[in-house]
Structure 1
């Protein structure tokens, strides 16, 4: 286990990468891809608002603006999974095995719960659907996001069952940041810390040199 609190997202990202490269175990996954892995990496970003993406890392600043909306919009796919649809249109009351009579917007549900009770511990969004995902090869990596109001700030915790730290952690953080900011704005409160829990935090062997070049 590795835990960390830091102000800015890109500092946290580099710290995780360094820990995995130094202390990660060699693990070969279901696709026969070689990785270094740490289990249960929990990082809290204390100042998500002023966090900026690492300069020159994959996407332009304009692209990150779109990434911040990807968990809110139902048209976007991330690694083959439509997270926005899972969050806003997937679950509901079933009429039959695959037919929903009412589709639940989990973002709206979270906002309504927290409006009714600021100390609620029930404002949680679920992404993993066992009725489908237990039988699929390509399943969501992010499985839940939880929200709490404490001291008039919104605290967010997001859990990944599997997290490609070099290739996806930064983008995923900004996706959660966008979702959290939207909910905080709906509630007219400040955005507080964002915690990212990566059950399997790993780096693919194909990215080892990329990671090492970050610290040259």
Structure 2
């Protein structure tokens, strides 16, 4: 597993994009989409709420991500096959056990850490096997763990698969806001943020236009030759 340490979320996003585009291997997904991926990566962010939380290279700006974070924490009226708010704040997926199941996992984390700050059991999961095995679009985020150490709430996240170019920036921003929400409920400061992606990838054909800002059109780093050929966003790529 590759460990990438950064002072803030924006820098973590930039570092992981560089790593994937330089070191990745090509793979056509089961949905027929062209990706470049690497083995597991772990992004360790010292101060997740520190500015900048959003990389200027990303096409999604902070106002959009603030709305995305609010939807994660408060929910929205939009209808999807699943959403992370539902899976974290109202897990159940229509399952029944002496009535329909409704489990607020975030409140469980808050209650657990209030009761026992040293607990290692403050965990929330999103996967629902009877449902997700049949979904065309199933959750990428799998696990959220919170621990209190040295008076601070550290959050640890696991994604089974992660679109690092167009989704990870939004994911990290919203989850750091969730970390802040939980910390405030417990009455502690926000600590570190750890983001583990088991299959980190970039859709280098679909999102080719989003690549040049990260590589600086070849001035910051040079992606692997296959990505450059598809992108064609700078003179170096054309050569």
TM-score (ref. length: structure 1): 0.91
Unaligned runs of 5+ in 1: none
Tell me what 2:156 maps to.
157
- Aligned pairs for 1:1-216 (under 5 A) are 1-52=1-52, 53-55=54-56, 57-75=58-76, 81-91=82-92, 94-95=96-97, 99-100=99-100, 102-206=101-205, 207-208=207-208, 210-216=210-216
CA, structure 1 residues 211+77, in 2 after alignment: closer, same or farther (shift >3 Å)? Answer: farther
The total of aligned residue pairs comes to 213
In 1, the alpha carbon distance for the partners of 2:79 and 2:28 equals 23
In 2, the alpha carbon distance for the partners of 1:49 and 1:25 equals 32
- Compute the displacement of 1:77 (Å): 5.9
Tell me what 2:224 maps to.
none
- Compute the displacement of 1:58 (Å): 2.6
In 2, the alpha carbon distance for the partners of 1:57 and 1:80 equals 26
In 2, the alpha carbon distance for the partners of 1:79 and 1:12 equals 29
- Compute the displacement of 1:78 (Å): 9.8
- Compute the displacement of 1:91 (Å): 2.5
Unaligned runs of 5+ in 2: 217-239
Do 1:144 and 1:159's aligned partners in 2 also have CA atoms closer than 8 Å?
A: yes
Q: Which has the higher strand share?
A: 1
Do 1:87 and 1:105's aligned partners in 2 also have CA atoms closer than 8 Å?
A: yes
CA, structure 1 residues 86+35, in 2 after alignment: closer, same or farther (shift >3 Å)? Answer: same
In 2, the alpha carbon distance for the partners of 1:84 and 1:25 equals 33
CA, structure 1 residues 173+90, in 2 after alignment: closer, same or farther (shift >3 Å)? Answer: same
RMSD across aligned C-alpha pairs, in angstroms? 2.1
